[in-house]
Amino acid sequence: MKIEVYGTGCANCKALENNARKAAEESGVQAEIVKIQEMDQIFEAGITGTPGLGIDGEIKSMGRIPSVDEIKKWIESKK
């Protein structure tokens, strides 16, 4: 599973990355967490507000920090 965190490295982006790591760990999945910080790539993915989160190429959120439980639900749906 590949989890993409879109953002320029701000505090919100780091909080989202931490939530994503914790959700993957609690779900017991092997996840590659990739940080995408280049604005061109962020816009190319369709992210209009950071931070953004994608799972296996599907954008799940943007402009907010989803909770660990919310991210776990998205991960579970991909198993």
Q: Show the low-confidence residues of the chain (pLDDT under 70).
A: none
Domain 12-78 CATH (choose: 3.40.30.10, 3.40.50.720, 3.40.190.10, 3.40.50.300): 3.40.30.10
What integer pLDDT is reported at residue 29 of this predicted model? 94
Number of helices (H), then strands (E), belonging to the chain: the values are: 3, 4
pLDDT at 43: 95
Of the candidates 17, 62, 7, the one whose C-alpha atom is nearest the C-alpha of residue 37 is: 7
Our answer to whether residue 10 is catalytic in this structure is: yes
pLDDT, position 79: 74
Active site residue 76: no
So what's the pLDDT on residue 50? 94
Residue 36: what pLDDT? 97
The predicted model scores a pTM of 0.93
Q: Which listed residue (13, 31, 42, 65) is catalytic?
A: 13
Catalytic residue among 10, 15, 34, 39: 10
Domain ranges (residues) in the chain? 12-78
